[in-house]
Chains A and B, each alone.
Chain A
Amino acid sequence: MSGLQTLLSKDFIWRARDLAVGIESASGIPTGFDSLDRLLHDRGWPRDALLEMLVDNQGCGELRLIMPGLRHLLHQDTRWLAWINPPFVPYAPALHSLGIDVNRVLLVHPNSHKEALWALEKILESGSCSAVLAWLNEQELQGKQLRRIQSRAKENRVWVTIFRPSRVARVSSPAEFRFHIHSSRSNTGDRMVLSVLKRKGGWAVNDVSLRLQWHPNALSTDYMAGRWNLWRRLEQTKEITRRIA
């Protein structure tokens, strides 16, 4: 019995009822999208895991999807945001308009896949970055390397996002979360549709539609109201527990 209790107290054991109650475990990084928050186990992006973003084309909102979360993370402490092997130049004025502190962005340009992995590992170990975005060479990327990244991310509590093409969706991956962003021929930049291929504490979900913002320098009122309600409910639960005790 005590063995079961200790097992249940571990972080990695997920119980279905957690998702139903949910509000106590709002430990994730708020994504900025209420409907997405609801799908994620920790009510937001993971603080210490590998996340795969499967996307075929540039320019379908894949960066704007994670920017609110990154902004939240950068506001929390003084750690940095690292970009490993970005395919183009991350444009500072645009990052600024999305609320990212450009002065804490580090770009790393390795010359080979081996160097990229080395740099990624050093960044994770250094403790000076709270999030890493990486574009790795698909030809040379192996499952055991991903597994190592995932375990290092867990150990050092860093949110690592890797951008990969959607053809690897059928290959299994040690990443804790996998998202597939659908590219649409009628993309206007206001909406995006994504599938959650893999998530902690739940089944896959198809076709989640999100409204992207162009200049979300201030969080939207709806979203703030949602977070506020969540927080109030959490406080109420605490109050009730206190009274019962």
Chain B
Amino acid sequence: MLWLCAHLPQMGLEMYEGSPACRQASVVIDERKIHLMNGVAKEAGIALGSSLATASSLAPDLVCYKRDEQAEKEYLEKIVPVAYRFTPRVSVSLPYDLMLEISGSIKLFDGVDRILNLLKHALRRIGHESFIGIAHTPSAARVLAHAKISTPLPEYPDTETVRNNTLTCLRETSLKYAELAPSDIERLSNMGIRSFGELLNLPRNELGKRFEKTLLEYLARLVGSTFDPQKYTAPEEQFRSDIHLLDPVKDRPSLDVHMEQLSLELVRWLQPRQLGVVEAIWTFSPFDDEGISVPVRFSHPRTRVSQILEFSELALESFDLPKEVISICLEATRVDSLLNTGATHRDLLGTHEVKPVLPGDLLDRLTARLGIASWQLLRNLDDHRPECAWSPSNDREYECGSPPFFTPGQRPLWLFEPPLPVRRKHFELLKGPERIQSGWWEGNFSRDYFVARHESGSLCWLYSNEEGWFQHGYFS
């Protein structure tokens, strides 16, 4: 087992800020004490643990967030998909750690260092600074990550090397990073024991007599002499994510930023599943009213942020958004496997085109801006009844129809849908009749079709039945 702990020390603050390049002092307070702060606040001389009043006096324009542990937990679970790229065994360790078991992924990613760099990079891209510790047990990895110590490891380490290197590193590490009760740490410190090395050198039996059992258990988990099971997170079955804003958004550009963030989350959710989104719903809610839902449909599963955004923005153009949006929600209502589409237009030998390639981008653009009813594809059906010999479709699961096996008479290029009642006297019959009849089980009609010329010279397709004369099309 090889454990990697990604410690996000500033996550509690970064989850509110979005961009790390904030030029204003900001802090997170927990029980009226400064819990986290950004670089600007630090420069202003604010110290962790000081009171809000002290901080405000040092930085008058201080932005202050209240710590919400439930929100922090939800947020941490939301960024787990970043880690699924590296291993399926990911667990969340509160408050600010992600634990990854990476022994099975080293070869795939060509070395521990690459996993480490890629993970750091991926976390930085979503706005988080991270410190990573690697060890043979979860507890040791956590200690190393918190202490910001990187274990020297070969590219493909075996368990024994990791164990030895971890224990060497731990020896020098201060005990304040141990997950022990603060009172225990203080007592040990009073006894002159300040690093893990000193603690581990003490005989366990004697230590057990003087401290609670939890200390021995912790040490056993730390060095790996007892098993430390972790609860792996399970990926969400459905995608739905919202952003609740602190200040209402009034203009489109700033709305776009948040939409991009949600799309990015959606893509991160889709990618490890090899899925693409086919239908999604955006909901934009004002402060005190029902939100407006904007559905977006795609002709085939989409996997790119840029495409999802482009078609979503086209769809937004035909909706009136609330003046002030306070929360944005994106829900994927239909997803589909990427395996069913894409490169599989051809048959096995690649010689015969099975199905025409749908102009997917174009259709999605039309759907987004003009609505799903704005376009149609045509299909031939093998049926002798004129109105049943074709069918429109705007389904992405579009199947080619079969052309009619046999068409006896002439068929017009323009069809009237429905047929138009006409006066016989305006027409001169040129050819006909062609009798078209249907059975009692399919509408029961019998019509005599004629090719006729209208007074203006237009060539028309007429039929007569017991109800009179009808025009069914033009021979254009």
Complex-state Cα separation, A190 to B3, whole angstroms: 82
Q: Say if the beta carbon of A102 comes within 8 Å of chain B.
A: yes
Q: Which secondary structure dominates chain B's binding surface?
A: mixed
For chain A residues 77-103, which have a beta carbon within 8 Å of chain B?
78, 80, 86-98, 101-103
Q: Which of B359, B378, B390, B401 gathers most chain A CB within 10 Å?
A: B378
Taken together as a complex, chains A and B put the C-alpha atoms of A160 and B170 apart, in Å, by 75
Q: Pick out which of these stretches binds chain A: B60-68, B88-96, B149-157, B403-411.
A: B403-411
Closest residue of chain B to A94, judged by CB? B411
Give the shortest distance, in Å, between B328 (CB) and chain A (any CB).
27
CB pair B353–A78 under 8 Å, yes or no, is yes
As a 0/1 sequence over residues 410 to 426 of chain B, the CB contacts with chain A under 8 angstroms (1 = contact) are 11111111000000000
Asked, given contacts A102-B379, A119-B366, A186-B457, whether A61 binds B476 with beta carbons under 8 Å apart, the answer is yes
Taking a contact as CB atoms under 8 Å apart, the answer to whether A119 and B403 are in contact is no
Docked pose: A91 CA to B387 CA in angstroms: 9
Contact A91 B365 (CB under 8 A): no
| Minimum CB distance partner of B357 in chain A | A78
A79 closest partner in B (C-beta): B359
How far in angstroms is the closest Cβ of chain A from B87?
Answer: 41
Q: Is B53 an interface residue (CB 8 A)?
A: no
- Min Cβ gap B144→A in Å is 54
B389 engages A92 (CB within 8 Å) = yes
- A180-208 CB mask vs B (1 if < 8 Å, else 0) is 00011111110000000000000000000
In the assembly, what is the distance between CA of A53 and CA of B379, in Å?
27
The stretch that binds B, out of A3-11, A35-43, A110-118, A144-152, is A110-118
State whether the Cβ of B374 lies closer than 8 Å to any Cβ in chain A: yes
B401: chain A residues within 8 A (beta carbon): 92, 102-103
Q: Which B residues touch A54, using CB under 8 A?
A: none
Contacts A59-B414, A63-B413, A89-B416 given; does A105 touch B453 at CB 8 Å: no
Contact partner of A188 among B380, B403, B453, CB < 8 A? Answer: B453
Cα–Cα distance between A25 and B353 once the two chains are bound (Å): 32
A220, CB-defined interface residue at 8 Å: no
Most A C-beta atoms less than 10 A away, residue of B363, B411, B453? B411
A129 to B375, CA, bound (A): 14
Number of interface residues of A (CB under 8 A): 53
Beta-carbon contact of B458 and A183 below 8 Å: yes
A26-34, A120-128, A169-177: which lies at the B interface?
Answer: A120-128
CB neighbours (8 Å) of A185 from chain B are: 455-457
| Inter-chain CB contacts under 8 Å: number | 169
Q: What 1/0 mask marks residues of chain B from 231 to 258 whose CB sits below 8 Å from any chain A CB?
A: 0000000000000000000000000000
B413-A102 in contact (CB<8A): no
Q: Check if A227 is an interface residue, CB within 8 A of chain B.
A: no
Report how far A86 CA is from B476 CA in the complex, Å: 12
| Complex Cα–Cα for A3 and B76 (A) | 68
Task: Using C-beta atoms within 8 Å of the partner chain, give the interface range for chain B.
Answer: 35 or more
Please indicate the chain A residues that have their CB under 8 angstroms from the CB of B375 in the complex: 106-109
- Which residue, of A67, A94, A102, A118, has the highest number of chain B Cβ atoms within 10 A? A94
Which B343-401 residues have C-beta < 8 A from chain A? Answer: 353, 355-357, 359, 361-363, 365-366, 369-370, 373-380, 389-390, 392, 400-401
Contact residues in A for B400 (Cβ distance below 8 Å): 103
Closest chain B residue, CB of each to CB of A108: B375
B133: interface (CB < 8 Å): no
In the complex, A103→B377 CA distance in Å? 7
Provide the bound-state CA to CA distance between A63 and B412, in Å.
10
CA distance A98 to B411 in the complex (A): 10
| Shortest Cβ distance from residue B113 to the other chain A in the assembled complex, whole angstroms | 44
Min CB distance, B235 to chain A, in Å?
A: 36
Whether the pair B370, A88 counts as a contact (CB closer than 8 A) is: no
Contact B378 A107 (CB under 8 A): yes
Cβ contact within 8 Å between A109 and B414: no
Inter-chain contact A58/B356, CB cutoff 8 Å:
no
Residues of A close to B455: CB separation below 8 A:
185
| B416/A88 in contact, CB under 8 A | yes
Most B-side CB within 10 Å, residue of A59, A80, A97, A122: A59
Chain B's nearest CB lies how many Å from the CB of A88?
A: 4
Query: What B residues does A214 contact at CB under 8 A?
Result: 410
* Chain A to chain B contacts (Cβ below 8 Å), 23 pairs: A57-B454, A59-B412, A60-B459, A60-B476, A90-B414, A91-B413, A92-B380, A103-B355, A106-B359, A107-B376, A109-B374, A110-B374, A111-B374, A118-B369, A122-B362, A123-B362, A128-B359, A128-B361, A185-B456, A186-B457, A188-B453, A189-B430, A189-B451
